[in-house]
Amino acid sequence: MIKTYYYDARENRMVHDVDLNRVSEMIQHEDSLLWIDIYNWSPYEIKAVADVFGFHPLAVEDCIHESQRSKVDRYDGYYFFEFHALKYDEESDNEITSEQLNVFLSRNFIVTVHKNPIPSVGRIAARSLHDPYYMTRGGDYLLYAIVDGITDTYFPIMDRIAVRIDELEDEMYEHPALAITEEFLALRKTIVLLRRVVQPQRRIFARVGTIHSFEVRHENQPYYMDLTDHLERISDSIEVFDDLTSGALATYSSLGTAKTNETMRVLTVITTLTASLTFITGIFGMNVPLPMQKSWWGTGMVALVMVLLTVVMLYVFRRRKWL
């Protein structure tokens, strides 16, 4: 599906569902801006818009085939971006999923391509139906508004991950179980995906205005500085979470090893005690004559020796701190 939003700077008004055959005419005025949003798309729709603007086939191919890495490419007359929005659902099998957003950016037009709805894009599109607020400052500001909305959705995810780490750290001391290990591994998988999405985007916007990134109007640069700051904070949090989960998993593994060693030590003591008693009963169980065999004193003496031996061994074990 293709939706169009056109800000006519000469008349200071918004126009929708424009004729794409008039694109070259509409973007002649340097302050006008055409936004084409392609969502729930078919390859035919992407290629049709690409033919209108003359987009490079490699960029079109990147739109059609999903990638997990954000990037910016410079082409003749426009820039091509790949970003990713995140959706977090702790109860699903894949608790975090990414939605690819491709953007073609030039001075007078911007084309966004995404398969499924993205809240940031939908919010801006809804306001642009009746208000040119996002369209009057150039395509680079519209790009900032879209990416800033996507970045804002990362913060609740980071907050929830921080809570989960705290909960797992408490549970691993109280209820050690295989399920906790699986929770840690799922959490680390989520953190890896976050790093894969956020780190490239941070590098893109940290170099705004250089030959390695893209040009931004002078009046819009402070917005990108703020966006970079947000991404830096998220990136730092991801690194902290990675260290916390690695440390917690190592601690949990050490706890499991310590509990196993403690159990084995107790079992070894029990085995030593029973082996000694079995040795005594085994000797006299082979028809070996007991002292005072015809009196109950004989049995009592053997039992007393076994009890004394057990007490002495337990005393020695405690002295050596084996118990």
As a whole number, the mean pLDDT across the chain is 82
Please check whether residues 170 and 285 belong to one and the same domain.
no
Final residue in a domain of this structure, among 203, 232, 255 = 255
Q: With respect to residue 102, please indicate whether it lies within any of the assigned structural domains.
A: yes
Q: Are residues 40 and 18 in the same domain?
A: yes
**Residue 240 shares a structural domain with residue 312:** no
pLDDT of 170 higher than 80: no
pLDDT of residue 297 exceeding 70, the answer is no
Residue 150 within a domain: yes
Phi-psi region of 112 (alpha: psi -120 to 50; beta: other; left: phi over 0): beta
- Mutual angle of helices 139-152 and 178-206, in 10-degree steps: 160
Regarding whether 150 and 73 lie in a shared domain, the answer is yes
**Confidence band (pLDDT; 50, 70, 90) for 255?**
low
pLDDT at 266 over 90: no
Note the pLDDT of residue 90: 67
Same domain, 16 and 101: yes
Domain shared by 139 and 245, yes or no: yes
Q: Which of 200, 231, 255 is the last residue of a domain?
A: 255
Residue 261 resides in a domain = no
Parent domain of 233: 2-255
Residues 4-40 as b/e (b if ≥16 CB within 10 A, e otherwise) read bbbbbeeeeebeeeeeeeebeebbeeeebbbbbbbbe
Q: Is 179 found in the same domain as 280?
A: no
pLDDT of residue 146: 94
Shared domain check, 293 and 186:
no
99-103, 190-194, 304-308: which has the minimum mean pLDDT? 304-308
Same domain, yes or no: 105 and 196: yes
Structural domain includes residue 196:
yes
Tens digit of pLDDT for each residue in 57-111? Answer: 999 999 988 877 888 888 988 999 999 988 877 666 677 888 899 999 988 899 9
Closest CA to 191 of 151, 248, 238, 233: 238
277 occurs within a structural domain: yes
**105 & 152 share domain:** yes
Check whether residue 229 and residue 119 sit in a common domain.
yes
Q: What is the pLDDT of residue 299?
A: 67
pLDDT at position 252: 72
Least confident of 116-125, 187-196, 269-278: 269-278
Residue 179 lies in a domain: yes
Question: How many folded domains does the chain comprise?
Answer: 2
Q: Does any domain span residue 262?
A: no
Q: Do the domain assignments include residue 260? A: no
CATH of the domain at 189: 3.30.460.20
Is pLDDT above 70 for 225?
A: yes
- CB-based burial label for 219 (10 Å; 0-12, 13-18, 19+): exposed
Question: Could you tell me the two tokens for 197?
Answer: 């999405």
What was the pLDDT predicted at 23?
81
The residue written with tokens 């990362």 in the block is 154
CA neighbours closer than 13 Å in the CB half-sphere of residue 227? 25
d(CA 43, CA 5): 21
Token pair in block for residue 180: 């906790």
Among 232, 255, 278, where does a domain finish? 255
pLDDT of residue 176: 59
Most confident range, picked from 123-137, 242-256, 266-280: 123-137
Which residue do the tokens 């008004």 mark? 13
Give yes or no: residues 209 and 246 share one domain. yes
Q: What is the mean pLDDT of the segment spanning 237-256? A: 79
Collect all residues with Cβ–Cβ distance below 8 Å to 144 and sequence separation of at least 6: 220, 223, 224, 227
Residues near 314 by Cβ (< 8 Å), separated by ≥ 6? 273, 323
